């Protein structure tokens, strides 16, 4: 019996186990897996650089989710849970995992330090209740939220600024000229936000983000129910990737 015949008698799971032990990709049908083990694979898919890969983006999404099960697992365990990760040798993935975890922790520490510094500064120099011109600060005032609501609902399009100002007592705490300026600013802000959403939802990007999010959701669901070795088998059945 030839080596090819011997390998062909094995199940896909067994073949993938052999490939996993070698740190090789486990994607493809049975003939592809056999040829890969025999060193006869005809055309290896061009490997995507890690920093541009969907594997990196998926790992990043998992890492930055404080509730993710990824925080309870080692790099080797995470490696076994998804085919995207296995496009890269285990040794390299362990380095990527370690570096990303360190970067994430550094980022969180920096954010915490920045927030503490801001809180200290605010405590040292508390802001007055009123501006020098005698009316409240807009950014922390209830009128800001109310105006955002009215612009989102299109209420501002049904009347003039001076009429809209009379619909809420909170609006009337500001001079008409000030209120009108904030109204125009809010209109521009919401218009720009809608334009950004349209750009963000272009077909290619939308599909890419949906794919990453679906894989993250499936990964978390699997990780919450089974041990690491079973996670891999479950995800393979799902045919993710």
**Per-residue model confidence as pLDDT tens digits over 174-214:** 999 999 999 999 999 998 887 776 666 665 666 677 778 88
Question: Is 235's pLDDT higher than 60?
Answer: no
Residue 207 to residues 15, 122, 167, 237, Cα–Cα distance (Å): 31, 43, 43, 22
Question: Is 241's pLDDT higher than 50?
Answer: no
Q: What is the DSSP letter of 130?
A: B
- At 39 the three-state DSSP class reads coil
The C-alpha atoms of residue 100 and residue 21 are separated, in whole angstroms, by 24
The C-alpha atoms of residue 212 and residue 240 are separated, in whole angstroms, by 11
Poorest-pLDDT segment among 61-75, 119-133, 191-205:
191-205
Q: What are phi and psi of 168, to 5 degrees?
A: -135, 135
Domain ranges (residues) in the chain: 1-46, 48-127, 135-224
Band (29; pLDDT cuts 50, 70, 90): confident
Axis crossing angle, helix 176-200 with helix 142-153, rounded to the nearest 10 = 60
Residues in the chain: 241
The C-alpha atoms of residue 6 and residue 32 are separated, in whole angstroms, by 15
pLDDT (0 to 100) of residue 119: 85
Exposed, middle or buried: residue 143 (CB in 10 Å: 0-12, 13-18, 19+)? buried
Exposed, middle or buried: residue 147 (CB in 10 Å: 0-12, 13-18, 19+)? buried
In this structure, is the dihedral angle defined by the CA atoms of residues 145, 149, 154 and 156, taken in order, positive or negative?
A: negative
Which residues touch 25 (CB under 8 Å, ≥6 apart)?
19, 36, 83, 86, 87
Question: Is 103's pLDDT higher than 90?
Answer: yes
DSSP 70-104: GGGS-HHHHHTT-TTGGGS-HHHHHHHHHHHHHHH
pLDDT (0 to 100) of residue 170: 95
pLDDT (0 to 100) of residue 105: 92
pLDDT (0 to 100) of residue 200: 62
Distance, C-alpha 236 to centroid of its chain: 23
Find out whether 70 and 78 touch, Cβ atoms under 8 Å: yes
Q: What is the DSSP letter of 149?
A: H
Burial 11-23 (b: 16+ CB within 10 A, else e): eeeebbebbbeee
Q: What is the tens place of the pLDDT at every residue in 129-164?
A: 788 888 999 988 999 999 999 999 999 999 999 999
Question: Is 47's pLDDT higher than 90?
Answer: no
């Amino acid at each position: 019996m030839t080596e090819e015949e011997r390998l062909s008698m094995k199940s896909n799971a067994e073949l993938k186990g052999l490939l996993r032990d070698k740190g090789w990709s486990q994607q493809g049908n049975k003939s592809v897996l056999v040829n890969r083990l025999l060193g006869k694979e005809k055309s290896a898919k061009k490997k995507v650089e890690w920093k541009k890969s969907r594997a990196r983006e998926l790992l990043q999404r998992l890492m930055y989710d404080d509730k993710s099960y990824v925080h309870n697992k080692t790099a080797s365990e995470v490696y076994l849970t998804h085919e995207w990760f296995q496009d890269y040798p285990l040794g390299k993935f362990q380095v990527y995992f370690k570096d990303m975890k360190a970067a994430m922790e550094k980022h969180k520490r920096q954010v915490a330090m920045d927030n503490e510094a801001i809180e200290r500064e605010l405590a040292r120099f508390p802001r007055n209740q009123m501006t020098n011109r005698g009316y409240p600060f807009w950014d922390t005032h209830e009128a800001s939220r109310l105006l955002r609501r009215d612009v989102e609902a299109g209420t501002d399009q049904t009347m003039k600024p001076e009429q809209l100002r009379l619909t809420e007592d909170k609006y009337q705490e500001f001079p008409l000229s000030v209120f009108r300026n904030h109204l125009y600013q809010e209109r521009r802000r919401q218009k720009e936000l809608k334009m950004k959403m349209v750009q963000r939802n272009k077909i290619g990007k939308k599909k890419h983000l949906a794919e990453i999010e679906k894989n993250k959701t499936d990964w978390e669901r699997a990780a919450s129910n089974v041990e690491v070795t079973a996670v891999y088998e479950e995800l393979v059945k799902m045919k993710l990737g």
